[in-house]
Every structure is written in C-alpha cells, then in structure tokens.
Amino acid sequence: MLEAVKRKSRKYRVREGKRYYGISISERFVIVVAGTETGHWEGDIVVGRRSGKKAVILTLLEKLTNNYISIHVLWKTSRNVINAIVNLWEEFGPLFSDIFKTITVDNGSEFADFFQAEQYGTKVYFAHLYTSWERAQNECHNSLFRAFVPKGAFLETYTDEDILIALDLLNS
C-alpha cells in the first residue's frame, strides 16, 4: 500500500485572540526540529464518527524512528486524554521521561490538560492554531492509519487487538 504525500504551499500567520494551552511549538529546542535525537514525539487524535464526543484514538509518533503508538480513548475529553498519558507513564515507569522527552500536540480542546504531562519529566509543546503541517509526520501516519480505521467509522467497534494489528503493520 503506497500513498502519495499531498503538499500544499500555505502562507503562515499566527491567529490572534485564540486559546493557547501551553508553550508554543516555536520555542522548541533546535535538536527537536533537527530530528537527530530520539525521544521527541508528535501527538494527535484520530476521530471516528463526528457525532458527539465518542471514542477516539490518541496517536503518538517518534520523529526520528517513526515509531507509532496509538491508545484507545473512550471519550474525547481532555481528562481522558491525559489519563491515557498517565497510563503510559505507569507502563514505562522511570524510563518515561527518557523515552518521551518532548511531545508536540495541537491546540484542540482534548489537549487542554496535556501540559500536566510535564510533571512526568516530559516537555510539552503546542502547535499553532490551524497549522497541521507543523506536525506533518504524525498527520502522514494518521492518514496511513485511516486505511485500517476509515473516517466515519464507529471507533467503539474496534478492539485493542484490531488497533495493535494496524500498528504492527505500520511500524514494520
């Protein structure tokens, strides 16, 4: 399965008067942008059916190794998304801050509490509003993930095993 990468030239402008949940992506360290060190992740949410705030999938992509992680989240709320990170922290234990040095996410309402991940030793950055190309690697992997979980699908019908099979295929 091979898909062409779609690229559009866009003019960038920062929108004023909007919400910002934390440190801007423009303040990231140069080493994160250069992609020469592991441990720097991009995160996003994959939404199924857009009616309400049903189940979503939190996706994280390591920028250097392209290691792709997804976590099934039952409701699209900031509390549930940060709980998914807490569960990840409990799974990795003291290695969490070495594996997840930085995480860059968008300014969606589901990431409103995401700055709390900094208490586990991870630096959190937020992309500018309406600029998905600032996290292009994660967006590209999410589009590949859509081959397994199409847009408009009920994510509640997918089991963790279904998602793991898709991840294994994407990571191999």
2 belongs to a structural domain? no
Specify the CATH number for the domain of residue 120. 3.30.420.10
SS3 content of the chain, % helix, strand, coil (to 5): 40, 15, 40
Of the pLDDT bands very low, low, confident and very high (cuts 50, 70, 90), residue 53 is low
**Contact yes or no for 93/70 (Cβ under 8 A):** no
Please give the pLDDT value at position 51.
64
CA gap 55, 45 in Å, rounded:
10
Number of domains in the chain: 1
> pLDDT (tens digit, 9 = 90+) per residue, 22-33?
788 888 878 777
Mean pLDDT of the chain: 85
pLDDT of 2 above 70 = no
Q: With beta carbons less than 8 A apart as the criterion, state whether 97 and 120 touch.
A: yes
Cα angle at 58 between 98 and 12, to 5 degrees? 90
Domain interval for residue 34: 25-171
State the pLDDT confidence band at 61, using cuts at 50, 70 and 90.
very high
Tokens of 106: 């968008």
| pLDDT for 8 beyond 60 | no
Give this prediction's pTM.
0.83
In tens, the pLDDT along 131-154 reads 888 888 989 999 999 999 888 888
Report yes or no: 70 and 58 within 8 Å, Cβ to Cβ. Answer: yes
CA 87 to chain centre: 15
Per the domain annotation, does 1 fall within a domain? no
